[in-house]
Amino acid sequence: MDGADEDGWSAVAGVWAELWGDFADPARQRVISETGIGPGSRVLDVGCGSGEFLGMLDRLGATPAGIDPAPAMIALARARLPTADIRLGSAEGMPWPAATFDVVTAFNALQFAEDTLDALHEFVRVTAPNGLVAVSNWAEGARNDLNVIETSVALAAGEELRPDGELRQAGGLEELFGDAGLDVISAGLVEVCWEAPNDEVLVRGVLMGEDPDTIAATAATVIDAARPFRIEGGGYRLVNAFRYAIGRTGPQATTPARNSSPSS
Ligand SMILES: C[S@@+](CC[C@H](N)C(=O)[O-])C[C@H]1O[C@@H](n2cnc3c(N)ncnc32)[C@H](O)[C@@H]1O
């Protein structure tokens, strides 16, 4: 599903949690091991969705907090962790004071911010001095089996193919981190796989958020395009890649106050 619309994400929250909630786990594990998150770490996950990473943090003994603009996502995250600090809101303006967290993360979410640099400045603001910011998102389409299917769907619908956004490309996250004043300490690729046990789940997962007529008209295209990814037993395995970058904040708060004067 595309787009930054919180109503759209709310509408698919249940399907997201069921079919895609664990998808980013390899990237989450990489970020945990490279940031050293552990017992007592104060960690904010931005665009927390249905709260899978918050659950992981809780099991590690960290203190998780989350924020997401989609009310149904927030409801699922709160149901998972009723006592955690989980708030409704967007990356662009977060309701925590400066320097509240040791680590601030976003998985498959920063790209939905209206202005990713503004949003990243906000990540930096709420991160403690010498704290860490970690962002992970889809790599360029050529690395993703899902892209093969999405390309077939787009061509069948007569749509133009969209170029990869900057954050998907090699060096894109690192450049944005530099612009936000973060010192990149680690970056790379992580393999993320998505499996569907049958045609029905494949179609529901790939066409998540589409209306029933579109799903009915497009299901055969999805199944046909997914043929190379069939596995024993009739299911499918799509091998994809996420990029990630981890950056350190400076010794002092680095971000000027937002909207501080009418001329700023
Ligand atoms: C693809 S889901 C990923 C959810 C979760 N991070 C995960 O990896 O499972 C994208 C999430 O970003 C949220 N989102 C969209 N726009 C956002 C914004 N401006 N700030 C923060 N989160 C946003 C959506 O509501 C949705 O929950």
* Sequence-separated (6 or more) residues with CB below 8 Å from residue 95: 67, 87, 89
CA of 234 to the centre of ligand 1 (A): 31
pTM flag (> 0.85):
yes
**Whose Cα sits closest to atom 13 in ligand 1?**
47
Please identify which residue in the block is written with the tokens 């190379």. Answer: 228
Distance, in Å, from the CA atom of 232 to the CA atom of 212, rounded to the nearest integer, reads: 29
pLDDT in tens, the chain (264 residues): 555 577 899 999 999 999 999 999 999 999 999 999 999 999 999 999 999 999 999 999 999 999 999 999 999 999 999 999 999 999 999 999 999 999 999 999 999 999 999 999 999 999 999 999 999 999 999 999 999 999 999 999 999 999 999 999 999 999 999 999 999 999 999 999 999 999 999 999 999 999 999 999 999 999 999 999 999 988 999 999 999 999 999 997 555 444 333 333
Report how far residue 85's alpha carbon sits from residue 245's, in angstroms, rounded to the nearest whole number. 25
Task: Indicate which atom in ligand 1 lies nearest the CA of residue 28.
Answer: 8
* d(CA 107, ligand 1 centre) in Å: 8
Q: Where are the beta strands (DSSP E) in 28-121?
A: 42-46, 63-68, 85-88, 101-107
Q: For residue 68, give the ligand 1 atom closest to its CA.
A: 22
Does domain 6-140+163-192+240-248 fall into CATH 3.90.440.10? no
Q: What pLDDT score does 7 carry? A: 85
Report how far residue 261's alpha carbon sits from residue 264's, in angstroms, rounded to the nearest whole number: 5
Atom of ligand 1 nearest to the CA of 112: 16
109 CA closest ligand 1 atom index: 12
pLDDT on residue 28: 98
CB crowding 186-225: b at 16 or more within 10 Å, else e: ebeebebebbbeebeebbbbbbbbbeeeebeebbebbbeb
Which residue in 133, 91, 94 sits closest to 110, CA to CA? 91
> Which residue ranges have their beta carbon within 6 Å of ligand 1?
4, 6, 9, 21, 24, 46-49, 52, 68-70, 73, 90-92, 107-109, 112-113
